[in-house]
Copies of this chain bind each other. A is one copy, B any other.
Amino acid sequence: MSKQGRKAQFTRALIEARSLIIDGSLPAGERLTETALAERLDLSRTPVRQAMDRLVDEGLLERIDTGGCRVARFTMADLVDAIELRGVLEGTAARLAAERGAVPEIADRMEQVLDALDRAVDPARFDFRAYVRLNEEFHDLLARLAGSPIVAREVERASRLPAASPVAFLQGQELIPDFRVSLGRAQHQHRRIYEAVRDREGARAEALAREHARLARANLEYVMHEQPSLADRVPGLALVAG
């Protein structure tokens, strides 16, 4: 048994199984048994079962009544809904932060992140990797800005739905013609969201955060309609039926 990490086998099972599903090695709709997966990953059934439970929770697997699982089959509509939901929940986080006042330490950090994002999208010293990292931190901070663990938790959960994550399309975006323009637009929205929260404009903050999530939807639609060849660059898009 591996010495590193307290739940090493479980973690490995979770990560590897998730990869298998997301990159399409396990085709959507395929039946998946504990035993088969355990053998494939060379693990015992115990950690594999836990990992499968977790993946069911994440929505990547569906339980079958009789036992065992099936790889979830997503439609475009499902991904659109997942993105919409993330927008709604981030919007709620933003609105509550505006109404109740933002947690000062998180707001401070957010200002730093926004400044850093400005630098990252500056054409003179464009830094894609920095953008990805900072964008992720922005969304994490936004989830926690209202100081509500319950809200933060659900925002983060919604971000784990397939292709709903704020970072899901950044990979593919590298290959989209004017993606730098798109990142600049996103950063503009980041600023406006924070501004609305700071100025206690709850409705505006909510609406802006929702609209911000629409960027992901636009990217989704672009990839699916204009560049289906990029679909395998975006995590989870292999799951989409048809």
Contacts and interface: CB of A to CB of B under 8 A. Distances in A.
Interface of A: 6, 50, 53, 57, 59, 66-67, 77-78, 81-82, 84-85, 88-89, 92, 96, 148-151, 153-154, 157-158, 161
B161 A81 contact: no
Contacts of A84: 92, 96, 151
Contact of A148 (B66, B81, B157): B81
Nearest to A146: B81
Identical copies of this chain, number: 2
Contacts of A149: 78
B150 A81 contact: yes
Nearest to A83: B150
A151 B118 CA distance: 34
A85 B81 contact: no
**Closest CB pairs A-B (n = 6):** A81-B150, A81-B148, A88-B92, A78-B150, A82-B150, A81-B151
A92 B87 CA distance: 11
28 contacts: A6-B66, A6-B67, A50-B53, A57-B57, A59-B150, A59-B153, A77-B148, A78-B150, A81-B96, A81-B148, A81-B150, A81-B151, A82-B150, A84-B92, A84-B96, A84-B151, A85-B89, A85-B92, A85-B150, A85-B151, A85-B154, A88-B88, A88-B89, A88-B92, A150-B161, A154-B154, A154-B158, A157-B157
Given A84-B96, A88-B89, 19 more contacts: A6-B66, A50-B53, A53-B53, A59-B150, A59-B153, A77-B148, A78-B149, A81-B96, A81-B151, A82-B150, A84-B151, A85-B89, A85-B92, A85-B150, A85-B151, A85-B154, A88-B92, A154-B154, A157-B157
Nearest to A74: B150
A59 B150 CA distance: 9
A36 to B, nearest CB: 20
Contacts of A92: 84-85, 88
